[in-house]
Structure 1
Amino acid sequence: MTNAGSPSAPEKRTLLVLASTYPRWRGDHEPGFVHELCRRLATRFHVIALVPDAPGADPSGELDGVEVIRYRYAPRGLQTLVNDGGIASNLRRSVWKWLLVPGFVGMQYLSARRLISRRRVDAIHAHWLVSPGIVARLLASPALPYVVTSHGGDLFGFRHPLFAAIKRWVVSRAAAMTVVSAAMAKEVRRLVLPVEHLETIPMGVDMDGRFSMAEGDQRSTSALLFVGRLVAKKGLTHLLDAMPAILAVRPDVTLDIVGFGPERDSLQRQVDRLGLDRNVVFLGALPQEKLPALYRHASMFVAPFVRDPSGDQEGLPVALMEAVATGCPYVVGEVEGLDDLLGDSAGYFRVDPRDSSALTAAVLAGLADPVVAQVAASKAADRARQCMDWSIVVRRYGDLIERSMRLDGAIGASANKT
C-alpha cells in the first residue's frame, strides 16, 4: 500500500515488441530468446509483445510480466509460416506458404496500428528485418522511434536484390540497429545498410542460474550432443557423415540430437542408411529446463555450423552459448559469428564440417584429451560470463531503447537516468 501523502512511482514507458518467433505457450520448445529479453525488460518498461498466432497457441494475455497479443493472419489451422523450422526454411520447403506472407505482414501492421491508435506507445523494438522490421518502418514517426534487431538469418539470407532493398529501407529510419555478433556488423557494412547507429549486442544466457557451471559434475567420456533446429545451416548432416569414422575408432560413442525442423525425416534416413541407429538418438524438442543436465553430462557439444546454399548462416547461436556457459567442451564449424563467444579459444576444435576427415579428427581429439578440451571450454565460459550474461545484455538493450525514446521533444533525454 502507498501512503496517501507519498509520491507515486513513475509510470513505466511502453515498449511495443514486434517479433515472428515467440513461445506459443509456457514451456514451448520454439526459441524463446525474444521472450526472455522481453520479460527482463519488463522491470524497466511496460512491454507489449505483438506476435503471430499459431495452432494450439495460448490466447492473448500476460506471460511472465509481458503483455502478449497474438494476431491472426490466416485460418488458424494454416498459421504455419513460423514454427517448426523458421520462416526461411518453411518457405523453401513449402512454396505455397508464400501465400501466407502478405497476411502475416499485413495483419501485424494493422494490429500494431490499431494498438498504437488506442494506447500510448513510446518506442518499438522489431526483431528481424524482413517482417517485423517492415511493420516498424511503416509505423515510425518522429514521436515513435524504433530499434531493429537482426538475429542472423534475416541478414545473411534473403539475398535477392528486392530483399536487399527492403533491408536498406527498414534500417534507414531506425533510431538504432543491433546485431548479435561482430560478423553480422561486418555484413551490415558490406551491404552498405544506411543505419545511423549500429551496436553489437548478443542475446543472453542465464549464467548465474539455469546454465551455470556446477562443481563436481561428472562428464561422460563418450557422449556427443547436438542441440538446434534441424535445418541446413546447422550442418548436422556433416556430423552424421563423420560418425562411421568416429565409431571405427571409438565404438562406444553416442550422439544425442535435441531439436526439430524440416530436415528431421531426411536426417533419420541418413542415420538408417549409415547404420547408426544404435549410436544416434533423436530426442526431439525438449523444454529449456531439461537442457542444462544434457550440457553438463556431454563429453562434447558438436555444432557443425555452415553457410547454407541460400547464404544463410548463424549469427550467434543460443544453444552453443548455453553449452559454453555450462563449461561443455565443443567442436564448432567455421562460422565467423562464433568468434564473439569463443574469443582466443575459437581456434581449438574448430573445423570446416564439410571436411569429414577434419571433423572426425577434431571430435576424436577432444574425446582423447578431455583436459585440453575442458580448458578451452572454461576459457570460453569465462569470456561469455563477461559479456553474455542476461544481466549485462538486458541493461545494454534497455539503455539503447531508452535513448531512442522521445521525451518532451528530445530523443535520448533519459539516457542517463538508469
Structure 2
Amino acid sequence: MLASTYPRWPGDHEPGFVHELAKRLVGQFHVIVLCPHAKGAAPAEMMDGVEVIRYRYAPAGLETLVNNGGIVTNLRNSRWKLLLVPGFVLLQAWHAWRLCRQRRIDVVHAHWLIPQGLIAALLGRSFVVTSHGADLYALRSKPLQALKRFVLGKAQAATVVSSAMRDAVGQLGANVDRVSVVPMGVDMAGRFMPNGAVQRSRSELLFVGRLVEKKGLRYLLDALPAVLQERPDVTLTIAGFGPDEAPLKAQARLAGLEDSVRFLGAVAQKDLPDLYQRAALFVAPFIKAESGDQEGLPVALMEAVACGCPALAGDVAGLQDIFGTQADACIVNPRDADALAHAILRQLRDPKQAVERSLSMRAAMRERLGWDHVAPRYAELLRSGRQEY
C-alpha cells in the first residue's frame, strides 16, 4: 500500500482509515505500507500485523507536508512547503521501486490518485487505486487532471469512496465503467456502537474533524448565537486540530461564545466513542472549499451514526450514501446561518425522534459501510489484480 496520511504511531490521532483497512487484510495478504516519515515516528515497525515502512523525504523538523491538516491544506496555508513536494514524491517512488524489486510485490494498492496513483502507474506493477476525495475534487489544473486520467486508465481497478465521486470521475473524462464505489469502513461491531448505559445529553453539540476550511466549522460558530437565543443551555464540543485552530478560537472569543464552546484539541480514536455516545447532536457543516476540495465520505460522520448519535451535515455531494432515506432531514446549507440554527434546534426539540432516525440510518449503513463488509470487497479487488513476479 502506498499512502500519505497514515498513523505515525499506535494510538495516533491522525486519520487512520488506511491502516484500518490494511490490518483487516493481514489474514489474506502480507501487507506492507509505504508512507512518509514524520518527527517522532519509527522508520519501520509492525502495527497490528501490518509492516509499516516510513521513508524520509526531508530533515525531521521539515517533514510537515502531510500531518496537521493534510497536503492540500498545508500547501495552501504555507506556500514554502511546495519545496517539499519533489522530495516527497520522488523518494516515495524510489522506495516503492526498490520494495517491488527486493520483496517481489504482487499487487500495489495506491491510496490517492496523486501522487501515489501516479507512482503506482509508473512502477509497471499491477495496481488498484483508491480516491478519497481531496485528490479528485481539488488539484484542478489541466496537467493534474490529465495525470488523474492517466492513472485511472492504467489501473487494473479503481475505487472511489462515494457514489458522487464516481460521477466526478466521469466529469474528469475518465472511463467510469472501471470505477467501483467501495468506501472506507467503520468498526460497527467492536468500537463504534450505541451504548445504552450512557445517558445522552439533551444540549451538547459535537464537532469532530480537522480544523480546515472544508469542514465548515466557522459556519457552525456563526449559527451558534441564534441557537443560544432559544436554548441558552446548549454547548458545543470541538474535537480536532489543524491550521485553522487559532482563527476559529478567535472567532468564538469575538462572538462571546467562550462559555458555550469547548476546544478539546486532538482526541485519540479510542476516546471518540464516548463523545459520540454522549452528544445530543453531531454537527458536520461541510462545504466545498475554494480549492474545490470537499469531503468524499467523511469517516467521523459514519462513526457518529454508528454510535447512534443524531447527525446534521452540510450539503455536499455523497452524503446520501450515509443518510439514505433520511437525507432531507439531516442535510442543510451551513452557509445560511439561520437555516443551520433552525435545523439544529429542530433536532434538539425532539431528541427521541432524532435518536430513532439515527438508529434507522445505522441499521441501513451496517450492510454497506461496516468493515466486515467493506474489507472483503477490497480483498477481492486486490486478488483479481494480483500478478506473480
Would you say same fold, with TM above 0.5?
A: yes
Quote the offset at 1:198 in angstroms. Answer: 0.9
**TM-score under structure 2 length normalisation:** 0.98
Report the equivalent of 1:4: none
Match of 1:236 among 201, 217, 242: 217
Report the equivalent of 2:87: 103
Match of 2:41 among 38, 54, 57: 57
1:74-129 alpha-carbon deviations (Å, 9 max, x no partner): 11110100000000000000000001000000000001111111111000000001
Report the equivalent of 1:369: 350
Distance 1:73 1:196 in 2: 36
Q: Specify the code of the residue in structure 2 equivalent to 1:103.
A: G
Report the equivalent of 1:86: 70
- Match of 1:217, SS state, is coil
Report the equivalent of 2:284: 303
Report the equivalent of 1:186: 167
Distance 2:174 2:212 in 1: 27
Matches within 5 A, 1:312-351: 312-351=293-332
Q: Specify the code of the residue in structure 2 equivalent to 1:281.
A: R
If asked which structure has higher relative contact order (CA below 8 Å, sep 6+), I would say 2
Report the equivalent of 1:46: 30
Q: Does 1:27 align with 2:8?
A: no
Matches within 5 A, 1:221-260: 221-260=202-241
Report the equivalent of 2:258: 277
- Match of 2:207, SS state, is strand
Structure 2 regions of 5+ residues with no counterpart? none
Does the 8 A contact of 2:323 with 2:330 survive in 1?
A: no
Match of 2:364 among 377, 383, 399: 383
Distance 2:380 2:225 in 1: 50
1:340-372 alpha-carbon deviations (Å, 9 max, x no partner): 111001111321000000000000011111122
1:159-204 alpha-carbon deviations (Å, 9 max, x no partner): 1112101111111110011000000001001111246621101111
- After TM superposition, the runs of 4+ consecutive aligned structure 1 residues lying more than 2 A away are 214-217
Quote the offset at 1:380 in angstroms. Answer: 1.1
Q: Specify the code of the residue in structure 2 equivalent to 1:380.
A: M
- Match of 2:304, SS state, is helix
Distance 2:49 2:197 in 1: 35
1:220-270 alpha-carbon deviations (Å, 9 max, x no partner): 010000000111110000000001111111111000000111100110110
Distance 1:112 1:222 in 2: 50
Quote the offset at 1:217 in angstroms. Answer: 3.2
Distance 2:198 2:47 in 1: 33
Distance 2:382 2:160 in 1: 14
Q: Specify the code of the residue in structure 1 equivalent to 2:31.
A: V
The structure whose Rg is larger is 1
- Match of 1:343, SS state, is helix
- Match of 2:223, SS state, is helix
Q: Does 1:209 align with 2:193?
A: no
Distance 1:44 1:215 in 2: 35
Report the equivalent of 1:125: 109
Structure 1 regions of 5+ residues with no counterpart? 1-16, 409-418
Q: Does 1:114 align with 2:95?
A: no
Does the 8 A contact of 1:333 with 1:352 survive in 2?
A: yes
Quote the offset at 1:310 in angstroms. Answer: 1.1
Distance 1:75 1:304 in 2: 37
Does the 8 A contact of 1:172 with 1:196 survive in 2?
A: no
Does the 8 A contact of 1:210 with 1:292 survive in 2?
A: yes
- Match of 1:283, SS state, is strand
Q: Does 1:264 align with 2:245?
A: yes
Distance 1:349 1:146 in 2: 37
Residues 1:138 and 1:195: Cα distance change in structure 2 (over 3 Å):
farther
Does the 8 A contact of 1:174 with 1:196 survive in 2?
A: no
Report the equivalent of 2:333: 352
Does the 8 A contact of 2:279 with 2:309 survive in 1?
A: yes
Does the 8 A contact of 2:170 with 2:176 survive in 1?
A: no
Report the equivalent of 1:176: 157
Distance 1:101 1:66 in 2: 26
Does the 8 A contact of 2:162 with 2:318 survive in 1?
A: yes
Q: Specify the code of the residue in structure 1 equivalent to 2:276.
A: Y
Distance 2:200 2:262 in 1: 18
RMSD of the alignment, in Å? 1.1
- Match of 2:8, SS state, is coil
Report the equivalent of 2:132: 151
Q: Does 1:289 align with 2:270?
A: yes
Between the two proteins, the alignment pairs up a number of residues equal to 389
